[in-house]
Structure 1
Amino acid sequence: MPITGEDFEKLVAPFFKKLFQDMGFLVIQVRKQTAGTQNGFDISVLFLDENELEREFFIECKYYASAKLEWSEIFSKQVQLDSSNHDATAFIALSPLKNLSNIDHNIQAKQTKAFKFPVDFWTPDKDVEKMFALDKKLYQKIYDEPCLLVLDEEKELQRLKVLVNLLISKKDLLRHANLIKIPDATSPINGDEEMVTSLDIKLNAICKSDDQYRIIYHKARADYKVYLESLVDVHSELRTNILNWEENMRLKASRLTHNFKMDDSYTPQKFFSDFFNEAEKEILTFYGENELKGDKEKLLCGIVFELAAQCPLDWRKNGTD
C-alpha cells in the first residue's frame, strides 16, 4: 500500500538516526520539523563528526510518485534554510522516486557559495535506492515492493560515509571560502623526483649546499602542491583561479628570465630577489581581485618555486650553475 509524504518523513527520521550511528557517528539528536514551519527542511540530524565537532545536516523530503519534482522547489527550501537561524553543515534534498528537473547549475553553484553550506541531491540517479535497501522493511514501504537488491551493506555504509565527510569538508571550505590556508605537507609528492632535482640545480646558483633555506624552499613548493590537490573536489573554482594566476606568472617568468640572460651585469641573486618583488605585487592584486585572505607568503613561495621546478623561471646565467 503506497505511503504519503507525511508517512515518508516519519519513517525516515528513525532510519537516519540508525544510519548515522552505523556509519560510526555519535548522533545527538534527530528532529522532525513541526508541521507548517517554513525553515526549509523536514528532518535535521545533529551529530559529532570524526573530529568530535558538532555538525547538523538538514534534509528536505520529497515523496513524489507521479508529479515532476522541479529544482526551483528545492531551491526555495535552501533559501528558507539560509534565512533561518540554523547553522547548517549541509542541505540534502531526499527524493526516493523522482530525480530533479530543470536544475540551474549556475545559480545553484553561485548561491551555494553565498549560503555557506553545501547542497546535495539524494535522488534515484544518485543511487538513493541502495541506501534504503539497508532497511528491507523500510524499502518495501517506500517503493511498495519487496527489495530485490543484492547489497554489500558495509560497502554501502562506506559509500554514504564518504558522501557525508565530503559534505563536511565542503562546509569547512565554504565557511572560509575566501581564506587560503596552506597546511604543512606530511608526505613527499609521488613522482616528483625530477621536479625536485630541477629546483635543486637552480638553487645551486643562489644557495650553498648546506643552506637551511634550501629545505624551506622545497617545503614551500611541496605544501603548495598538496594544497592545490586538496582543492580538486571541494573548491574547484578557487583551484582554477590559483592555476590561472600561476599561468600568468609563468608567462612573466619566461619573459623576465629571457631578459635576465641578456644582461651580463644582472646577478642570479638580484634576479631571484627582483622576481620575488614582482610576484609579491602580483599576488596582492590577485588577492584583491578575488577578495582572498590568508597565507600570502606560503602561496607566493609555493608558486615561485613551482615555476622554478617546471623551468620557466631560471635565475642561472645561461642555464648553468
Structure 2
Amino acid sequence: MAITGSDFEKLVEPFFRKIFKEMGFLVIQVRKQDSGDQNGFDISILFLDDDEQDREFFIECKYYTTANLYWVDIFSKQLQLEASSHNPTAFIALSPLRNLTNIEHNIQSKFIDQFKYPVDFWTPDKEIEKLFALDEEVYKKVFNKSNCDIVFDREVELNRIKAIINNLIQKKEALRFADVISIQDSDKDPNEDSSLKTTLDEKLDSILSKDDEHRIRYHRIRANYKVFVDGLSDLNPSLRENILNWESNLRLKADRLTSNFNIDDTYTPKRFFHDFFNEAEKEILTFYKDFELKGDKEKLLQGVVFELAAQCPLDWRKNGTV
C-alpha cells in the first residue's frame, strides 16, 4: 500500500536515527517538525561529528509520487530556514521518487555563499534507493515494493553516506570562514617560474640595499599571498575570483601611476613605491567593504603589491631603469 507524505516523514525520523548511529555518530536528537510550522524543514538531526563538534542537519522531505518536484519549491524552504533562529550545518532535500527540475544553479550557488551552509539534494539520480535499502522494511514502504532486490555491500554504502555527510560538514566550515582573509606565514613556495623572484629583486634594487633585511620579508609576503590564493581554487573559488579581479584592477592603477616618470623629472622610485601603496590601501578598504570581508588586510595588500611587481605591471623604476 502506498504511503503518504506524512507517513514518509514518520519513517524518516527513526530511520536516520538508526543510520547515523550505525555510521558512528553520537546522535543527540532527531526531531520531526510540528505540522504547520514554517521553518523550512521536516526533520532535524542533532549529532556529534568525528571531532565531537555539535552538528545539526535539516531535512526537507518531498514524497512526490506523480507531480514534478520543482527546485523553486525547495529554494523557498531554504529561505524559510534562513529566516528562522536555527544554525544549520547543512540542508538536505530528500526526495526518493522524483528528481528536481529547473534548478537555477547560479542562484543556488550565490545564496549558499550568503546562507553560510551547504545544500544537497538526495534524489533518485543520487542513488537514494541504496540509502533506504539499509533498512529493508523502510525501503519496501517508501518504494511501495513487496521486497528489496537491491544487491549492495552494507559497509560500503554506510561509508559512502558518511563521506557525503563529512563533505557537507567540511563545506560548512569553508563557508563559515568564506568572508575571512587568513594568509598564513609558512615556508611553502608557490608553483611558479623562478624568474618572478628575479624580477621582484630587480625592482627592490631601486629602493633597498642588497643586504636590507626587508628583501627576504617582502619575498615571503608575496609567496604567502600566492599560496593562499592558489589554495582557494577548491576551498572558495568565488573569493579567489574576487581577489584576482581586484588585483587586475590595481594593474590599471599601476600603469597610470608610471606616467608620472614621464611628466615629472623629480619623481623617484621610492616616491612611486609609497604612492602606489597609498593608492592600493584606499582600494583595499573599498574591496573589503564591497564584499564584507574581514581579516589580514595588510598581508593581502602587500602580497598583491609585490606580486604585481614580480609580474611587471608594477614597475617603480624610471621607465624600467634604476
Q: TM-score scaled by structure 1?
A: 0.81
State the match for 1:81 in structure 2: 81
- One-letter amino acid of the structure 2 residue matched with residue 97 of structure 1: L
Does structure 1 conserve the Cα–Cα contact (< 8 Å) formed by 2:189 and 2:224?
no
Paired positions, count: 317
The answer to whether structure 1 residue 167 and structure 2 residue 207 are counterparts is no
Match of 2:150 in 1: 147
Q: Deviations over 1:206-263 (max 9, x none)?
A: 3345433334323332333343344445544333222211111122223434654886
**Does the aligned pair in 2 maintain the 1:257–1:312 contact within 8 Å?**
no
Q: Deviations over 1:264-296 (max 9, x none)?
A: 644332222221111112222323444444332
Quick one: which amino acid aligns to residue 73 of structure 2? E
Deviates more, 1:190-199 or 1:277-286: 190-199
Q: Is the 8 A contact 1:185 1:222 kept in 2?
A: no
Match in the other structure for 1:279 = 280
Partner residue in 2 for 1:16: 16
Question: What is the match of residue 202 of structure 1?
Answer: 203
In our comparison, the structure showing a higher alpha carbon Rg is: 2
The worse-fitting range, judged by mean Cα deviation, of 52-61 and 285-294 is 285-294
SS at match of 1:314: coil
**Separation (CA, whole Å) in 2 of partners of 1:45 and 1:191:** 42
Contact 2:32 2:43 in 1 (8 A): yes
Secondary structure of residue in 1 paired with 2:181: coil
Give the letter aligned to residue 72 of structure 1: V
Report which stretch shifted further, 198-207 or 254-263.
254-263
CA deviation after TM superposition for structure 1 residue 122, in Å:
2.1
Distance 1:135 1:261 in 2: 78
What is the alpha-carbon distance in structure 2 between the residues aligned to residue 5 and residue 187 of structure 1? 56
Q: Deviations over 1:278-320 (max 9, x none)?
A: 1112222323444444332122112112212222112344546
Look up the match of 1:43: 43
Structure 1: gaps (5+ residues) = none
SS across alignment from 2:30 = strand
Q: For 1:1-321, list aligned pairs within 5 A.
A: 2-21=2-21, 25-49=25-49, 51-132=51-132, 138-143=138-143, 144=145, 145-149=148-152, 152-153=156-157, 156-157=160-161, 159-173=163-177, 179-186=179-186, 188-194=188-194, 195-233=196-234, 235-257=236-258, 259-260=260-261, 265-317=266-318, 319=320
Unaligned stretches of 5+ residues in structure 2: none
CA-based RMSD: 3.3
CA shift in 2, pair 1:88/1:155, >3 Å:
closer
Q: Taking structure 2 as the reference length, what is the TM-score of the superposition?
A: 0.81
How much does 1:69 deviate? 0.9
Q: Report the CA distance shift for 1:123/1:259 in structure 2 as closer, same or farther (over 3 A).
A: farther
Moved more, 85-94 or 31-40: 31-40
Deviation at 1:200, TM superposition (A): 3.7
Going from structure 1 to structure 2, the CA distance change for 1:41 and 1:158 (only over 3 Å counts) comes to: closer
